[in-house]
């Protein structure tokens, strides 16, 4: 009985090593991914957004306050407050503004024009 168990363990070890080599070579996907913990990684905090910076981001996208608010899924009052300095973006809003500022296409792909093209006068 002990010999059979040793053979099974040896076969499993050989199979595991073959899988490890295939995973390292990229021919086999890993069974699970390692998650990074706070001991192994850091996260850069999002930048702070002044009223002028929020306005620059919005205007750089060519959007009105109501459309910008809809695109970010916040109220128009929130955007207005940010731009007037009455409110300061915090928490997830700062990260969202950072993503929009760095990757404007990420938000612009959700904005569609509803205006029909008008025929030009000849």
Other beta carbons less than 10 A from residue 24's beta carbon: 10
CA distance 68 to 13: 57
Q: Provide the whole-model pTM.
A: 0.65
Q: Name the band, by pLDDT with cuts 50, 70 and 90, for residue 73.
A: very high
Mean pLDDT on 70-83: 97
Burial 60-90 (b: 16+ CB within 10 A, else e): ebebebeebbbbbebeeebbebbbeeebebe
Q: Which residues, at least 6 apart from 29, have a Cβ–Cβ distance to it below 8 Å?
A: 23
Q: What is the mean pLDDT of the chain?
A: 88
What per-residue confidence (pLDDT) applies to 90? 94
Say yes or no to pLDDT of 121 above 80. no
Chain position carrying tokens 């199979």 = 15
Say yes or no to pLDDT of 67 above 70.
yes
| C-alpha distance across the termini of the chain, in Å | 96
- Residue 96, pLDDT above cutoff 60: yes
Q: How far apart, in whole angstroms, are the C-alpha atoms of residue 88 and residue 108?
A: 23
pLDDT of residue 2: 60
């Amino acid at each position: 009985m002990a010999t059979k168990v040793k053979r099974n363990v040896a076969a499993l070890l050989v199979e595991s090593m073959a899988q490890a080599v295939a995973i390292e070579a990229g021919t086999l996907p890993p069974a699970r991914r390692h998650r990074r913990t706070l001991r192994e990684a850091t996260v850069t905090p999002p930048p702070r957004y002044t009223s002028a910076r929020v306005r620059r981001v919005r205007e750089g996208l060519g959007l009105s306050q109501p459309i910008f608010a809809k695109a970010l899924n916040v109220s128009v009052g929130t955007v207005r407050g940010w731009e007037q300095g009455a409110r300061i973006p915090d928490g997830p809003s700062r990260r969202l503004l950072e993503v929009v500022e760095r990757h404007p296409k990420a938000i612009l792909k959700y904005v569609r024009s509803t205006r029909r093209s008008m025929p030009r006068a000849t």
